[in-house]
Structure 1
Amino acid sequence: MAGTRKDSADIRYNSNTLSPDLFYQSLFDHNPDIIFYMDVRGVIVKSNDRFSETLGYDTGEIVLSTVEKFLRSKNVPGYREALTKALSGDRQYLKTTFLHKDGRALKFHLTLIPAWSENQVIGIFSIAENITKNVLLKHALKDSELLFESLVNEAFLGIFIIQNGKMIYGNPKLYQLLGIKMNTAGLNLWDYVRQEDRDRIDILNHLEIGDKGVYLSFRIIKTNQTEIEVIAHVKKINYQHKETIVGSIQDITERKKAEEHTKYLAYHDQLTGLSNRRHFEEKLQQEVVIGQTLQRRFAVMFVNIDRFKYINDALGHPIGDKLLIQFSKKLRELFDASTILARISADSFLLLLPDIVNTEQVIEYAKKIHQLSDTPFFIEDYKFFITMCIGISIFPNDGEDAETLVKHADTALYKAKELGQNKYQVHTPTMDIESYKTFKLSSDLRSPLTLNQFEIYYQPKVCAATHQITGAEALIRWHHPKWGNVFPDEFIPLAEELGIMSQIDQWICQTVCNQNKAWQEAGLPAIPISINISAKRFLETEMITDITDLLVKNRLDPGYLEVEIVESTLLENNTAVIAVLDGLRKKGIKINLDDFGKGYSSLSYLMSFKGKINTLKIDKSFIDDLSHTADENSNFITKSIIELAQYLGMNVVAEGVETLEQLEILKSYKCNTVQGYLFSKPVPADAFAELLKKGKFDLPTPENTGTSTPRENRRKYFRIDLDSPLIGLITLIQFHGNNVQLGKNGILIENIGLGGLRFLSDLHFGIDRKMVLEIDTKILGEIVTFHGSVVWMKELKSAIFQYGFEFIINETERSVLAQLLNKLSILAKQKVIAPDCSFTTLSVHQFFSEKQQNPNNLLE
């Protein structure tokens, strides 16, 4: 450090060193810049308040410190050089950087002024001017200019300035958008706007200086006559004392195309080009609002291609995709643009048919869709005939919101599939009853006590020629504590969904093996008994071992156990199932193919089962059509199945034989075995044991196959037997103390009295007085409503039940009913057809078939 250390008196501010002039003291203390005084060693002796205010240090941290303490390290050498020169007597100026106490760097102009006394430098006066803001501002301005120039020149927006209608500035992008050379003189930008869009820029005539800018969209015709979509932001300002329009233009042509494409993908199925579920639901929501506002009806169709999974699995997804594309195209051609078609899953489609007149109109559309099955689809070297099942719901009858309408169409589709291939089904309120029952059964199936409620019923298989019992089929029944006897088709699908079917299958096998062995040990004829195995069970590798272990455990010869597999299971999982079947056959267990013809098979396909199937069971649908007066083709198909199966070394069982005529025809076709209500319905084990003791059935006659009417002689009140049944509507209103609100289902009322009535239904109700039903019917122009419970039930045919219904009625209501029935009775005795009643001349089969297709307005 220049200079020598002096006595402390030399550096004290007193009369011996500096004159205490008030003027200079004020200048020191109140200067807007930092002022401080250093001794010849560079130690700060005194500073003004601005030092602390600007750099954040206390006075005690400043005084007796060197300036280097407050400088950025790289600025220290320059400062020391300037200080040395100042101590030599030369005034110094430098730019340097001080550090704030919090670490911030601040720019300063630092002036070092020598302090003289007696021709000797005794210290340094320092003035530090804070130029941080100036530096930052200067840099910011320079950066802003560079940035603005860069942004404007490289911007993807066209930028322009217009005065007096002419463009005085345009950036390169603007000229590129217009397709003209840069700096074209006298350019009027708006001349390039498409004629049809020029009215959109009229708003510029109403803009005022200072107004918020406006956005405009229009099309520009470039000099090469191509067209682009643009969006512009325009504002009016005062520039150089003139009204000036400034703005930007962006080419959004590709963006709009991309947006349209993105929207298309968001709302359409990529494979078929039809709408997707999201788009369909939005359109359906809109149609609900329109329907509610205009009181307009519309329909929702749920279409599913039968066996599509089999096509995919057998031939591969590329073939399946091409089939879907062709099918979608043909489906689209059936409807006009107002119909919304959507593909919502691999093989399922939803249709929205707006503004329909009646249900019959929708059914006609369904029939048109089914006509697509009449012509083949050609995919590469393959020729396909496909069928579709269709579920239908109608607004507002079947729901007043989108979710309910789709749900009911789906439920109707499920019902259509139960009827077979290529069927359609209009939603009926009865499905709500079935859904309610299904929900309750689903909950109860999870209970560990369920197995204790199961029972095996046995239906005999009878030699068609001798009527000897040659075997039996084991059929599970569920004795539900509230719903009564629940049939397998009601709970087996639920058990499969819940994943407990394997447990039930094992229980069935164990029970049947144990029972059959018990009958044999009791001296009854030894016969094979067949059990039905679920499709999923066939795919479990341990199934063969489980069945074999049960045979060993019960000491039952494998020849007395047969396994029945449904046709659809065999076709959909061919390789895996065949392997299991071969394993069972090696163990001595025979294999039956159940429900042949119900699903998918052809006679030619039957050839592939040779040597793998012991018995072929012909589906009931073929047997129902057998008659001496039937079309020859109908009988011929059944005859052909029997002949081909026997040629392949298979036994044949005809299921669902109910009439002597059917039996005689089957005997003439040399059918081995029959099974059906003509001989016996499924019965409990004790009842079947009695049948086994007898060994054979007497030949049924028309007299002993008739239906007796139970409890006729035990009634308190008279009944009117109706020559033609009355159509009624039934619903469940109370279930074990809980009130419920469900839809109604069509029934046929056979007789009616003051205490109750007898009706037929295709629904299975339990015998339970805690289940309160409501029945409506029309008698002599009046809609009569009855409340009551089922007190007895009899199954007449498969899926048709006869019920005794006891009224819950007070004496006043009974008196009113008595007057009405008295009038009806008088007319009946006079052989006069009672007017304005809901009689029907349809057969039972026709009624329950046709009301499923169109259940509306049954009492009108």
Structure 2
Amino acid sequence: MIDPTNKNSVIIHEDVDPDLFYRSLFEYNPDLAYYSDTHGIIAKPNEGFCKTLGYRQEEIVQHSLERFIPQSEIPKYRKAFAKTLAGEIQHFNTLFLPKTGNPRIIFLSMLPAKVAGKVIGVFGVAKDITKRQLIEQSLQDSELKFRSIVEGAFIGVYIFTENGQVSYGNRQFYKLLGLENTEEVNFWDCIHPEDLPAQKAALDRLMNGKDGVDHSFRLLRKDGSIIFVEAHSKKVYLQNDQLTIIGVLRDISERKRAEELTHYLAYYDTLTALPNRKLFQKKLEQVINVSKTSKQKFAVLYLDLDRFKYINDTLGHSIGDKLIKQTAERIKLHLGEEALLARWGGDEFFILLPHILNAEQVADLAETINEAVREPYLIDKYNLILTTSIGISIFPDNGEDAETLSKHADSALYKAKEKGKNTYTIHSASMDLESYRIFTLEADLRQAIEQNQLELYYQPKVCADTYQIVGAEALIRWNHPEWGMISPDDFIPLAEETGVITDIDKWITHKASLQNKAWQDVGLQKIPVSINLSAQRFLEKDLISHIRTILADANLDPEFLEIEILESTMLENETVVLSVLAELKRIGVRVSIDDFGTGYSSLSYLNHFKGWFDTLKIDRSFISDLTCADSKDSNFITKTIIELSRHLHVDTVAEGVETQEQLDILMEYKCRTIQGYLFSKPVRADAFADLLKRGKIEPPGDHHPDETVLVEDRRKFFRIELDFPLSAAMTMTRIHGRNVKLENTEVLIENIGLGGLRFLSDLRLAIHRDIILEFETEILGHTIKLSGAVVWMKEVKPGIYQYGFEFSIGESDRAALTSLLNKFAIQLAKPPLIPNCRFVTTNRYHFFKEKNRK
């Protein structure tokens, strides 16, 4: 009996039949149960057995269990059955064959049935584990597939604990680390120290509830090398509730290098490895934002290498590239760590100089850079001299935004170039009239050809003995819509600097050839017309083919086209020049060496080029200094050049002849071809056609421009003529409705009246009433300012212009001017010179000559 006082005891009523109890346990057991005799014949199956296999009880009884077991499983069953008869309990997996359907997977337990210690049969209890087994098999298959996929994957797979200890890594994971699969590894130890804080922070976010994190970092490999990887990590809990991190990572080093290369190409110059324009502008914006807050000054320096384009086009881009690189290295040596040097493009650089104290600090740096760049360069056996011009703007004095600071540095650069190059200028609120003019001319230059603003003038070449026209030189002019007719001396250097010169040269060649043929077609005298080609154009590969095409299009015989090249062009690239000269000779085009005598090499090159050129042109600098005093150097040099030409069997042309004295000397030296203002200034094509009709040009007789200049008198009011001109400061205040603030440029007032004045200048100004000028001078101790517009212009000497200027003043100002000029006229009648007036007593022509030398 079970103790009824024990709460945990199970009470079995005494009146319960034990046989019934065990029979119920057998019959209603949900698993399969049966009893067989010692021969394995089933005597009794339970309901579960019949139901699972689909047989009725009578179909099972009196049959061996082997009937329901596949043939392959019978040996295993028999072995286990024998052991059970021997008294051992057996457990094993096997298969039962149902009446219909697929075999069932069975976990079978066989127990010996004993009576009085003797085994009289076998009890069998079988559990259908088909579903469980299939699930386990599926899991095994899945795991096998997963493992095969993971192990063969091209990405690394990892599992590690919170402390970073890696519990699993696939083959690629270890390969990325450069480790063997058996080596222990801690995940945190594999991350670059600089990236570790960010990675731990990312995983902290994961621990605090984020589903997953994407992160990238540098991975340290066993051999010390570094690769870039990106990873995705998730947290999982194992059966023991241990928090684990599982994730994948892949090598993105190639992509990172591609991104870095893309970034480099976007923000850096490939030649110098310096920041480019885009990065400079980005940094400039950042410095502006910081400086606005800190109230700190900084400077922007704009550098342009003088004559670089000429060197680059003459000696080749390989030399030019090396020159740019060496220049950049020199500049960098003189910059502090905070300064930023950028290549703007071509031969232009920008410097961002933060945290400056004053303008003097920037000026000192600019001088240092000028000196460093000026040192000779030895590149591929070439000894090269280079200089740089620098424009400077300072924050906030010259602007508070990037565009304004850059623009003002640009305008200051032009002013530096106007000062003679190899110098610097700090931007001021104004620039002088000529600097402003040059600044606007460069901006408009590229449109000049497209908008048909270029024009050719022609200056005759005359036989010294007969005064017959024997040739002409085509000289380009630019008819600018605001500035009027622009001399080539003003815009050709700009064209060379900006690369437009080649297009201009092509246009000249085409236009001059068509015009010459047009003159011939109407029966005018056939003469050669010479054109000037830049060194860049002369050395371009398509020059010869282009000339052939133009001559064919114009139907012009080659003998009527002459090409003038500078002496310096021949000296700097002899091999290429010889090849081009030979081709021109083969075509039949004449070649002239221009500005002969100004080169910086020995005359031995003439012997080298002998037979490949037809004419030497004596530079005008020698002609202008010719005098009857035969002992002067210019006389000796000129005479020597003429005799040298005769010895070489080539023609000589003297250009810039302006006086009868110069002509007489040249004729004495037996120079046969003359070009200059003495015979004619350059004229338009229609005017030159009139000269060709006449055939010859007589010199005008004695002409002494150094004594005085031509006077153009078109006054409406009475004017006071001045024996000595007044120096005046001229500036522009308004142009086509736009107010401008410019510095002054010096001019000479020749006469003055109530309605206007006449003045001389070395600037070529536009005749336009929408361009308002202002003059300031001193008369009798009074400073006067007079505004108005230029109404006429005349070129009185090469590069010297006479202008008529009409006042735009009110009646009260005119009344005050009347009183002052009356007193001035009375005082002028009394010698000597009146004090308190800005008189210039030197020769007017030499005044401008000296002005330009300063």
Provide the rounded CA distance (Å) in 1 between the counterparts of 2:457 and 2:813: 44
Superposed CA deviations along residues 788-807 of structure 1, whole A, max 9, x for unmatched, are: 32122122433332322212
Provide the rounded CA distance (Å) in 2 between the counterparts of 1:409 and 1:639: 48
Whether 1:654 aligns to 2:658 is no
Superposed CA deviations along residues 560-612 of structure 1, whole A, max 9, x for unmatched, are: x6734233888777535543344336xxxx64333446789863433343223
State the TM-score, normalizing by the size of structure 1: 0.60
AA partner of residue 209 (structure 2): G
Map 1:174-185 → 2, pairs under 5 A:
174=173, 182=181
Provide the rounded CA distance (Å) in 2 between the counterparts of 1:269 and 1:434: 29
Q: Which residue number corresponds to residue 541 of structure 1? A: 548
How far residue 162 of structure 1 moved from its aligned partner, in angstroms, is 0.6
Provide the rounded CA distance (Å) in 2 between the counterparts of 1:481 and 1:267: 38
Map 1:135-146 → 2, pairs under 5 A:
143=142, 146=145
Q: Is contact 1:366–1:424 with CA below 8 Å preserved after alignment?
A: no
Provide the rounded CA distance (Å) in 1 between the counterparts of 2:491 and 2:160: 79
User: Unaligned 5+ residue runs, structure 1?
Assistant: 1-89, 96-134, 521-526, 552-557, 851-860
How far residue 352 of structure 1 moved from its aligned partner, in angstroms, is 2.8
Provide the rounded CA distance (Å) in 2 between the counterparts of 1:361 and 1:660: 52
Whether 1:377 aligns to 2:384 is no
Whether 1:429 aligns to 2:436 is yes
Q: Which residue number corresponds to residue 731 of structure 2? A: 729
AA partner of residue 300 (structure 1): Y
Q: Which residue number corresponds to residue 25 of structure 2? A: none
Q: Which residue number corresponds to residue 676 of structure 2? A: 676
Q: Which residue number corresponds to residue 579 of structure 2? A: 575
Map 1:356-755 → 2, pairs under 5 A:
357=359, 364=367, 367-368=370-371, 371-372=374-375, 375-379=376-380, 382-385=381-384, 387=386, 392=391, 394=393, 428-435=435-442, 438=445, 441-442=448-449, 444-445=451-452, 457-459=458-460, 461=462, 463=464, 471=470, 473-475=472-474, 487=487, 497=503, 501=508, 503-510=510-517, 513=520, 530-532=529-531, 539-544=546-551, 563-567=562-566, 575-576=579-580, 578-584=582-588, 591-596=591-596, 603-620=603-620, 644-657=644-657, 674-677=674-677, 681-682=681-682, 684-685=687-688, 695-696=698-699, 698-701=701-704, 705-711=707-713, 715-716=717-718, 725-730=727-732, 733-734=735-736, 739-740=737-738, 744=742, 746-751=744-749, 754-755=754-755
Superposed CA deviations along residues 122-163 of structure 1, whole A, max 9, x for unmatched, are: xxxxxxxxxxxxx99998995576236632674533522215
Deviates more, 1:809-818 or 1:683-692: 683-692
Q: Is contact 1:163–1:244 with CA below 8 Å preserved after alignment?
A: yes
Provide the rounded CA distance (Å) in 2 between the counterparts of 1:442 and 1:270: 33
Change in Cα spacing, 1:479 to 1:332, as seen in structure 2 (3 Å) is: closer
AA partner of residue 509 (structure 1): N
Q: Is contact 1:411–1:431 with CA below 8 Å preserved after alignment?
A: no
Tell me the SS of whatever aligns to 1:715: coil
Provide the rounded CA distance (Å) in 1 between the counterparts of 2:338 and 2:676: 50
Change in Cα spacing, 1:307 to 1:196, as seen in structure 2 (3 Å) is: closer
Q: Is contact 2:475–2:531 with CA below 8 Å preserved after alignment?
A: no
How far residue 616 of structure 1 moved from its aligned partner, in angstroms, is 0.9
Whether 1:808 aligns to 2:802 is no
AA partner of residue 799 (structure 1): G
Q: Is contact 2:626–2:665 with CA below 8 Å preserved after alignment?
A: yes
Whether 1:157 aligns to 2:194 is no
Change in Cα spacing, 1:502 to 1:274, as seen in structure 2 (3 Å) is: same
- % same residue: 30
Provide the rounded CA distance (Å) in 1 between the counterparts of 2:783 and 2:338: 40
Q: Is contact 1:269–1:276 with CA below 8 Å preserved after alignment?
A: yes
Provide the rounded CA distance (Å) in 1 between the counterparts of 2:335 and 2:627: 41
Q: Is contact 1:513–1:550 with CA below 8 Å preserved after alignment?
A: no
Q: Which residue number corresponds to residue 53 of structure 2? A: none
AA partner of residue 472 (structure 2): E
Change in Cα spacing, 1:642 to 1:472, as seen in structure 2 (3 Å) is: same
Q: Which residue number corresponds to residue 298 of structure 1? A: 300
Superposed CA deviations along residues 86-106 of structure 1, whole A, max 9, x for unmatched, are: xxxx986589xxxxxxxxxxx
RMSD across aligned positions (CA): 5.9
Change in Cα spacing, 1:591 to 1:143, as seen in structure 2 (3 Å) is: same
Provide the rounded CA distance (Å) in 2 between the counterparts of 1:633 and 1:147: 99
Tell me the SS of whatever aligns to 1:541: helix
Change in Cα spacing, 1:280 to 1:778, as seen in structure 2 (3 Å) is: farther
Change in Cα spacing, 1:201 to 1:392, as seen in structure 2 (3 Å) is: closer
AA partner of residue 746 (structure 2): L
Q: Which residue number corresponds to residue 118 of structure 1? A: none
Q: Is contact 2:342–2:349 with CA below 8 Å preserved after alignment?
A: yes
Superposed CA deviations along residues 219-255 of structure 1, whole A, max 9, x for unmatched, are: 6666666666666655555443635141547586945
Provide the rounded CA distance (Å) in 1 between the counterparts of 2:696 and 2:392: 53
Deviates more, 1:661-670 or 1:169-178: 661-670
Q: Is contact 1:306–1:386 with CA below 8 Å preserved after alignment?
A: no
Change in Cα spacing, 1:202 to 1:805, as seen in structure 2 (3 Å) is: same
Tell me the SS of whatever aligns to 2:512: helix
How far residue 305 of structure 1 moved from its aligned partner, in angstroms, is 2.1
Match of 2:310 among 292, 299, 307: 307
Tell me the SS of whatever aligns to 1:612: coil
User: Unaligned 5+ residue runs, structure 2?
Assistant: 1-97, 104-133
Q: Which residue number corresponds to residue 16 of structure 2? A: none
Tell me the SS of whatever aligns to 1:832: coil
AA partner of residue 584 (structure 1): G
AA partner of residue 613 (structure 1): F
Change in Cα spacing, 1:713 to 1:501, as seen in structure 2 (3 Å) is: closer
Q: Is contact 1:161–1:168 with CA below 8 Å preserved after alignment?
A: yes
Q: Which residue number corresponds to residue 99 of structure 1? A: none
Provide the rounded CA distance (Å) in 2 between the counterparts of 1:848 and 1:399: 31
Q: Is contact 1:642–1:652 with CA below 8 Å preserved after alignment?
A: yes
Q: Which has the larger radius of gyration?
A: 2
Change in Cα spacing, 1:198 to 1:284, as seen in structure 2 (3 Å) is: closer
Q: Is contact 1:747–1:761 with CA below 8 Å preserved after alignment?
A: no
Tell me the SS of whatever aligns to 1:653: strand
How far residue 385 of structure 1 moved from its aligned partner, in angstroms, is 2.7
How far residue 707 of structure 1 moved from its aligned partner, in angstroms, is 1.0
Superposed CA deviations along residues 138-191 of structure 1, whole A, max 9, x for unmatched, are: 989955762366326745335222157755444455555666664667x65445
How far residue 509 of structure 1 moved from its aligned partner, in angstroms, is 0.8
How far residue 270 of structure 1 moved from its aligned partner, in angstroms, is 3.8
Deviates more, 1:427-436 or 1:481-490: 481-490
Provide the rounded CA distance (Å) in 1 between the counterparts of 2:135 and 2:416: 80
Tell me the SS of whatever aligns to 1:532: strand
Q: Is contact 2:299–2:392 with CA below 8 Å preserved after alignment?
A: no
Provide the rounded CA distance (Å) in 1 between the counterparts of 2:436 and 2:473: 33
Provide the rounded CA distance (Å) in 2 between the counterparts of 1:400 and 1:849: 36
AA partner of residue 511 (structure 2): I
Change in Cα spacing, 1:455 to 1:310, as seen in structure 2 (3 Å) is: closer
Q: Is contact 2:768–2:791 with CA below 8 Å preserved after alignment?
A: yes
Change in Cα spacing, 1:343 to 1:792, as seen in structure 2 (3 Å) is: same
Q: Which residue number corresponds to residue 845 of structure 1? A: 849
Tell me the SS of whatever aligns to 1:681: coil
AA partner of residue 368 (structure 1): E
Change in Cα spacing, 1:848 to 1:393, as seen in structure 2 (3 Å) is: farther
Change in Cα spacing, 1:678 to 1:311, as seen in structure 2 (3 Å) is: closer
Change in Cα spacing, 1:290 to 1:612, as seen in structure 2 (3 Å) is: farther
Superposed CA deviations along residues 59-99 of structure 1, whole A, max 9, x for unmatched, are: xxxxxxxxxxxxxxxxxxxxxxxxxxxxxxx986589xxxx
